[in-house]
């Protein structure tokens, strides 16, 4: 059977964009920007993306594209009979661990979306809203339920195969994600906090920049572009050997950066409209935002759109990690796609349980 190929460079950009755009853009980027003082950190982040991230992105794509094989085989192809092959296995192990952590936090997002849809998220006093996250973290059953739903949905998309699963679902979910993002952004422009948000993100104050922030910017540029474990390599292996790489790599990086910056502007516009502190950390979207949604006209609808947007972003990233694991089991061990999906999802679910119980 011939190996799958993306049907066009645009399909590839959507799929790789789907892998890149995720919790990292909408959850992590705004909160680390808030914690590291804004503008100067954003500038460092942009430099890291385009000076470090894009060249590595091209390199990963190139290794995959020239090997036309999964990540473990691709490293063997790069230098046969050397220890380089070990990097491929490291990537597989890391993908497994990342998926198990990513799945748990994505489960929280699904739980919040469900609460928003049923009207419970913003019900009661601001104290009740504040305690939504604490309530969820104290309930392993609720966390495990949504984690399972998330892993199951990701597994379903990957089991459908590359054409009917990954390519098709990225083509559906990514434009929807953009529509929602632009909708929320248009709304945020009308808020009093929009101008302060622009100033916070684009007016660098270098006195706030620490060496820790610099490390965070580099680390995050890898995470947000899905670099370092082979996800971009495996997506690159489904590209025709004739495709030129720099342009498509640059397009994916632009798309990913655009989403992070716009998500940051949306979130900080809301935060500054209510005169709150931008430094609340990982709780920013789980505590601060719902609290603000509660005080805004139309806040319930905003909450529904916001958590749906992040669910889509998380799903298109999780399927890329799962594809890396599945392609390894199928191509290197001859497993059927269905068995590979089942084992990889179930395995990361089991590892993720450790994470769930660590909050309890």
DSSP 70-134: -HHHHHHHHSTTSTTHHHHHHHHHHHHHHHHHHHHHHHHHHHHHHHHHTT-TT-S-HHHHHTHHH
Q: Nearest distance from residue 22's CB to ligand PFF, in Å?
A: 2
Residue number, 194 or 349, with CB nearest to ligand PFF: 349
Residue number, 291 or 320, with CB nearest to ligand PFF: 320
As a whole number of angstroms, the longest Cα–Cα distance in the chain is 64
d(CA 13, CA 253): 10
- Burial (CB < 10 A; 0-12, 13-18, 19+), residue 232, is buried
Residue with CB nearest ligand PFF?
Answer: 24
Q: Nearest distance from residue 198's CB to ligand PFF, in Å?
A: 23
d(CA 107, CA 58): 32
How big is the chain, counted in residues?
360
d(CA 144, CA 48): 36
Going through 140-257 in order, the beta strands assigned E by DSSP cover none
Specify the residue for token string 């993002």.
181
Q: Nearest distance from residue 207's CB to ligand PFF, in Å?
A: 29
Q: How many CB atoms lie within 10 A of CB 204?
A: 16
Q: Nearest distance from residue 100's CB to ligand PFF, in Å?
A: 12
Residue number, 252 or 287, with CB nearest to ligand PFF: 252
d(CA 357, CA 215): 29
Residue number, 26 or 278, with CB nearest to ligand PFF: 26
Q: Nearest distance from residue 20's CB to ligand PFF, in Å?
A: 5
Residue number, 53 or 299, with CB nearest to ligand PFF: 53
Q: Nearest distance from residue 63's CB to ligand PFF, in Å?
A: 15
Residue number, 223 or 307, with CB nearest to ligand PFF: 223
Residue number, 18 or 290, with CB nearest to ligand PFF: 18
Q: Nearest distance from residue 138's CB to ligand PFF, in Å?
A: 25
d(CA 274, CA 261): 20
Residue number, 272 or 328, with CB nearest to ligand PFF: 328
Q: Nearest distance from residue 359's CB to ligand PFF, in Å?
A: 20
Q: Which residues bind ligand PFF (CB under 6 A)?
A: 19-20, 22-25, 98, 223-224, 226, 229, 231, 317, 320-321
Q: Which long-range contacts (CB under 8 A, 24 or more apart) does 111-117 make?
A: 111/136, 111/142, 111/143, 111/146, 112/136, 112/286, 112/290, 112/303, 112/307, 113/304, 113/307, 113/308, 113/311, 114/146, 116/300, 116/303, 116/304, 116/307, 117/304
- Burial (CB < 10 A; 0-12, 13-18, 19+), residue 337, is middle
Q: Nearest distance from residue 69's CB to ligand PFF, in Å?
A: 18
Residue number, 24 or 299, with CB nearest to ligand PFF: 24
């Amino acid at each position: 059977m011939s190996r799958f190929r993306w049907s066009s460079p645009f399909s590839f950009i959507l799929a790789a964009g789907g892998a890149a755009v995720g919790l990292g853009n909408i959850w992590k980027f705004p909160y680390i920007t808030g914690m590291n003082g804004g503008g100067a950190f954003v500038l460092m982040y942009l430099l890291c993306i385009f000076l470090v991230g894009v060249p590595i992105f091209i390199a990963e794509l190139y290794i995959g594209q020239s090997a036309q094989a999964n990540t473990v085989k691709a490293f063997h192809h790069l230098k046969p009979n050397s220890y380089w092959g070990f990097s491929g296995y490291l990537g597989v192990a890391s993908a497994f661990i990342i998926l198990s952590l990513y799945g748990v936090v994505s489960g929280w997002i699904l739980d919040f979306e469900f609460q928003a849809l049923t009207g419970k998220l913003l019900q009661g006093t601001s104290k009740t809203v504040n305690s939504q996250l604490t309530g969820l973290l104290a309930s392993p059953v609720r966390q495990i339920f949504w984690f399972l739903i998330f892993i199951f949905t990701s597994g379903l998309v990957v089991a459908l195969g590359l054409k009917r699963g990954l390519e098709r679902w990225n083509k559906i979910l990514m434009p929807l994600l953009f529509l929602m993002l632009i909708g929320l952004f248009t709304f945020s422009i009308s808020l009093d906090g929009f101008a302060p948000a622009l100033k916070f993100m684009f007016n660098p104050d270098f006195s706030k920049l620490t060496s820790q922030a610099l490390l965070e910017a580099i680390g995050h540029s890898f995470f947000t572009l899905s670099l370092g474990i082979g996800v971009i390599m495996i997506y690159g292996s489904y590209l025709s050997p004739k495709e030129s790489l720099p342009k498509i790599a640059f397009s994916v990086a632009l798309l990913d950066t655009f989403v992070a910056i716009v998500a940051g502007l949306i979130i900080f516009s809301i935060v500054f409209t209510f005169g709150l502190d931008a430094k609340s950390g990982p709780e920013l979207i789980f505590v601060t935002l719902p609290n603000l949604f509660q005080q805004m006209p139309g806040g319930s609808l905003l909450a529904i759109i916001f958590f749906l947007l992040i669910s889509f972003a998380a799903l298109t990233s999780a399927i890329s990690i799962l594809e890396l694991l599945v392609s390894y089991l199928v191509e290197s061990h001859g497993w059927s796609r269905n068995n590979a999906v089942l084992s990889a999802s179930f395995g990361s679910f089991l590892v993720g349980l450790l994470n769930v119980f660590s909050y309890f």
